[in-house]
Amino acid sequence: MKLNIYIFLILYIININSILEIKGYPQSKENVISLKLANAIKIQTISYGSYDVNSKKDNQQFDEFIKYLRVTFPLIHNKLKVNIINNHSLLYQWEGKNKDLLPILINSHYDVVPVDKSSWTVDPFGGVIKDGYIWGRGAIDDKSSVIASMEAVEYLLSQSLTLKRSIYLAIGHDEELQGAQGHKKIAEYLMNNKIKAEMIIDEGNPLREAGYMGVKNKTSVIGVYEKGSLFYTISANGTTGHSSMPPSLKSPIGILAKAIIKLESNPVPYFEDKQYQNPYLDLFSPEQISTNPSLYYIKRTTTTVTMFNSGIKPNVLPVSATAWVSHRVAPGIDIPSLVERNIKLINDTRITLKVLSTRPLSPYSSPNSTSYNAVKQTILRVFGDNTEVYSGGMLANTDTIHYWHISPNIFRITPIIVNDNDYGIHKSDEKLSTTNLLNFVNFYENLILNMNK
């Protein structure tokens, strides 16, 4: 078995070298790491939800990804303790000498959301490298985190570094489905083994480039909390029949459309919460905040209709219509009260609201801790001392919900510099610059070193 792995590894290394030579890439650190991410993107580890009735998880792709990591990062797999959790999630342990120091947990995930290939200008699973970018689904969310964190550890192992503080790499396989089979199981493993962490790092806010909306310097917002969430469906029923002889002028689609207009036209009221502060917003005028969604929704609850399903044929009246609605719930908003508010707002007994899932507002991690300062100092070291670093909220949700009992210090950051044009998580033509990927790796290297002084 070991012989087969070694043979495969040798062939893989030869293949990497030949690809680099054929493409004309110099074998620089940046290009080699970029190729590792590009090849990871080629493996189609797609998470399908229950609404994807015609698709299901391809276990072979997930198995292939684990094999890919094994041959791409040989030192990690030879020197660290490796736990495969629930078949497809991974937990790597790099043991530190000082058992009195709580470990660092670096989280990531390798599953990705589905794609509509018709809206892409490149093959979303082609592993394309062009124009200084790695293109494809997962380039940012979140295979970049997987590759960057493992590359950092692989490099530090090659330098024969001895750790004082243990490091864990926790890699989930179903974050896009809320992590119930992945990071939740990893967290249960840690609890069962009485393992607590000094700090947890997970995906989060990227840095903004200098000049963004008039701000002179690069800015970074370390996510010290994340919003809650509420997902539900609204449905209406009717009577089917031929479109030439409608039994009623009030079709399920029309009924539901009115409800959607009410939801979208009446934003959830804003409430100030004194604990969950966002000093980053003080850099902008009220007008700037109100016209920029990435700023406006830091403090407000979103209302988004994400899917709609009705009808089977153009000339057949639908018997029902269903819409899926998502709220990312800001501090100060009670989720049960929000559900009641929406029912009253719709005010139509023909419509049924069914809650699919909820997630509470996360705990607030103090920006005054030693761990927070280590993250801040790492950002300054990698991106420059003139970078402005703030604490604040995270717009989306992460798998950190499963780790609230593992550490009080949970920080969400994606250490890349972006503008509004190239930050394409869950969008078509998702891409990450090769320079950003190198910064990603440097961030993890420096964070590990900072926490081991």
CA 170 to CA 153: how far, in whole Å? 13
| DSSP secondary structure of 370-406 | HHHHHHHHHHHHHH-TT-EEEEEEESS--GGGGGTTT
Question: Is there a contact between 453 and 165 (Cβ–Cβ < 8 Å)?
Answer: no
Which sign, positive or negative, has the C-alpha torsion 55, 60, 65, 68?
negative
- Among residues 34, 372, 64, the alpha carbon closest in space to that of 223 is found at 372
| Farthest-apart Cα atoms in the chain, separation | 79
Residue 175 annotated to the active site: yes
Query: 3-class DSSP state for residue 436?
Result: helix
State residue 286 phi and psi, 5-degree precision: -55, -35
Q: Does the CA dihedral 323-326-332-337 come out positive or negative?
A: positive
Strands 228-237, 320-329: pairing is antiparallel
Q: What burial letters (b/e) apply to 243-253, b meaning 16+ CB within 10 Å?
A: eeeeeeeebbb
Q: Are 434 and 30 in contact (CB under 8 A)?
A: yes
The catalytic position among 175, 202, 203, 388 is: 175
For residue 424, give the amino acid letter: G
Residue type, 318: P
Closest CA to 110 of 145, 154, 70: 145
385 is catalytic: no
243, 262, 398, 268: which is closest to 323 by C-alpha?
Answer: 262
Looking at the annotation, which residues are catalytic? 111, 175
